[in-house]
Amino acid sequence: MTAEVVSVGTELLMGQTLDTHSSTLGRLLAEHGIACHRRTTVDDNLSRIEGVLREALERCDLVLTVGGLGPTADDLTRDAIAAALGEPLEPVPHIEMRLREYFASRGIDWNRAIARQALKPRGAETIDNPNGTAPGLHARKDGKTVVALPGPRGEFGPMVEGPLRAILESLAGGETIRSRTLRICGLGESQVEAALGEIMASEDPVVAPYAHPGEVHLRITARGASAEEAESVIEPVERQIREILGANVFGRDDQTLETVVLGLLRERSARVATAESLTGGGLSARLTGIPGASDVFAGGVVAYSAALKESLLGIDADVLQAESPVSEAVARAMAEGARSRLGAEYGLGLTGNAGPTADAGRKPVGQVWVACAGPGGTWATSHRFVGGREDVRTRAAQAALVLLRQMLLSEAER
Ligand code: ATP
Ligand code: MG
């Protein structure tokens, strides 16, 4: 089974909208073991969309389109699919009725543009769109399948997760697909791939890496006649990966790093406090984003200026005088200050230059120090992150959580 993705929209070609939907579809196809050979982006032009669809249909079994299903003159995907399949468009009575009710209830007169959304190529089925007006399309002809999905995020997402998954599962032979995501910290995507070697090339289960700021997710996907059968294919590979990557695997599926760290603190009846500079409270926001954080997160301070670092965290004026604000000494003093001043067993300190320009101390952009103070001493790590200001700040918070987790795990070993 081979597939192609066709995204439709002049705004995509002009760089006004980033084509994230194609990536989503690429991942989904890979998960279902369907090889995606090409992605095409085409502007809102009927004959060009039709041409792209014809070519794609000659080459592969399944074509997924995104966008261009709406009511406006530049929404031409429906017409292009009908033309490429050589089928006329015909109205779908139940969709038309729903649209008539919807627009009447809003006092909008019925018009030709709206009516177009109730059309489908002969022989095709519509896919319900509870979050918008234009339905999706599912057309089959001569062994080929075309699925058309709406562009708006709130319509695309639910249609992909529900109906499209079901279509792909049935195309994949009625088998059940199961997947599990292992979350990894402390290693980059290429390090993970290198460490896992052959495993990454496995076809059953499929193992696919996804890079996120400061972590890598490995999605292990298997198919089987039943869920149990698919799980039994995933399990030995998951075990193998865990053996190789060890403590770098911090969680599974939707377990975030902050959830895991808070869980470790809870097991130890310990609390953490934060002293943040470049992250401006971003780390505290992540920790307080987890329900029930209050029993293990004491609180934090945003100490941006040297004066506040001194008054709120009790950092020695001498240290602040002698050292750049972005330094190991200041990060350590911030962590220790958070721990003692805020009364927690663990303190985290974060300082760095998020850019875009080098700071007064001429620390390079992306230079970050994070420190973790605990009952057994203080640890600090230095980082040089690449990326924009937000990337650096996200990665700094991530690095602090990684460091705290390392300390908590190493204490457990002793
Ligand atoms: P509508 O009924 O709103 O016209 P549509 O199905 O015709 O929906 P488009 O008009 O092509 O979809 O796109 C609507 C919006 O959806 C775009 O402005 C954009 O924000 C988003 N969008 C469309 N295609 C993509 C894509 N490939 N990746 C990410 N976002 C997209
Ligand atoms: Mg549109």
The CB of 223 under 6 Å from ligand 1? The reply is no
Q: Residue 67 Cα, ligand 1 centroid: separation in angstroms?
A: 5
Return the bridge partners of 383, or none. Answer: 368
Task: Read off the pLDDT of residues 330-381 as tens digits, 9 standing for 90 and up.
Answer: 999 999 999 999 999 999 999 999 988 776 657 889 999 999 999 999 999 9
Q: Nearest ligand, CA of residue 133?
A: 1
pLDDT at 360: 60
Distance CA 162, CA 181 (A): 19
For residue 9, which atom of ligand 1 is closest to its CA? 11
Radius of gyration of the chain, Cα coordinates, nearest whole angstrom = 27
**Nearest-CA residue for atom 8 of ligand 1:** 70
In angstroms, what is the span from residue 19 Cα to ligand 1's centroid? 9
CA of 28 to the centre of ligand 2 (A): 23
Question: What pLDDT score was predicted for residue 413?
Answer: 78
* Closest to 81 measured CA to CA, from 53, 106, 100: 53
Mean pLDDT of 373-402: 95
Strand 2-8's sheet: what is its strand order? 35-42, 2-8, 62-66, 144-149, 136-141, 125-127
Rounded Cα distance, 350 and 98, in Å: 55
- Which has the higher per-residue pLDDT, 317 or 358? 317
Ranking 119-128, 214-223, 280-289 by mean pLDDT, the lowest is 214-223
Tell me which residue has its CA closest to atom 26 in ligand 1.
Answer: 19
Q: Give CA angle at 413 (408, 414), nearest 5°.
A: 100
Confidence of residue 203 (pLDDT cuts 50, 70, 90): confident
Please give the structure tokens belonging to residue 7. 């995204």
Pocket probe for ligand 1: among 24, 66, 74, 147, the residue whose CB has the most ligand atoms within 8 Å is: 66
Structure tokens at 19: 């084509």
Kindly state if the Cβ of 345 falls inside 6 Å of ligand 1: no
Verify whether ligand 1 is closer than 6 Å to residue 186 (CB atom). no
Residues near 68 by beta carbon (within 8 Å), at least 6 away in sequence: 8, 9, 44, 49, 74, 75, 76, 77, 78, 80, 151
The structure tokens listed for 68 are 């261009």
CA 10 / ligand 1 centre spacing (Å): 10
Are residues 178 and 40 in contact, defined by beta-carbon separation less than 8 angstroms? no
Quote the ligand 2 centre to 290 CA distance (angstroms). 37
How far does residue 160's CA lie from ligand 1's centre (Å)?
14
Instruction: State mean pLDDT over 179-204.
Output: 93
Which amino acid is residue 252, in one-letter code? R
Any ligand 1 atom below 6 A from CB of 238: no
Residue 104 Cα to ligand 2 midpoint, Å, equals 21
44 SS3 class: coil
CA 188 to chain centre: 16
Centre of ligand 1 to C-alpha 134, Å, is 11
* Chain segment 156-176, per-residue pLDDT in tens: 999 999 999 999 988 877 677
- Token representation of residue 263: 């869980």
Residue 47 has pLDDT above 70, yes or no: yes
- From 12, 16, 17, the mutation candidate for ligand 1 (largest count of ligand atoms within 8 A of CB) is 17
Span 33-45, average pLDDT: 94
Question: Would the pLDDT of 198 be above 80?
Answer: yes
Q: Residue 152 CA: which ligand 1 atom is closest?
A: 16
What is the token pair recorded at 54?
Answer: 């014809």
SS3 label, residue 133:
coil
Residue 152 Cβ inside 6 Å of ligand 1? The answer reads yes
26 lines ligand 1 (CB under 6 A): no
Top mutation candidate among 156, 159, 160 for ligand 1, by most atoms within 8 Å of CB: 156
CA nearest neighbour of 64 among 51, 85, 81, 47: 81
Instruction: Please report the atom of ligand 1 found closest to the CA of residue 72.
Output: 4
Average pLDDT, the chain: 94
Q: Is the pLDDT of residue 255 over 70?
A: yes
In this prediction, residue 290 carries a pLDDT of 95
Is residue 283 within 8 Å of residue 276, measured between CB atoms?
Answer: yes
Query: Ligand nearest 78 Cα, by number?
Result: 1
What is the pLDDT at residue 351?
96
Q: Which residues contact 142 (CB under 8 A, 6 or more apart)?
A: none
71 Cα–ligand 2 center, Å = 7
Looking at residue 92, its amino acid is: V
20 lines ligand 1 (CB under 6 A): yes
Q: According to the model, what pLDDT value does residue 359 have?
A: 64
Cα–Cα distance for residue pair 124/23, rounded to 1 Å = 26
Q: Output the pTM of the full model.
A: 0.68
Q: Give the span between the Cα atoms of 71 and 12, in whole angstroms.
A: 18
Separation of alpha carbons 353 and 326, rounded Å: 7
- Among the listed residues 319, 326, 310, 413, the one whose alpha carbon sits nearest the alpha carbon of residue 371: 326
* Mean pLDDT, range 144-165, rounded to an integer: 95
pLDDT digits (tens, 9 = 90+) for 214-229: 899 999 988 888 889 9
Question: Would strands 272-276 and 346-352 be described as parallel, antiparallel, or unpaired?
Answer: parallel
Tell me: cis bond preceding 205? Omega within 30 of 0 counts. Answer: yes
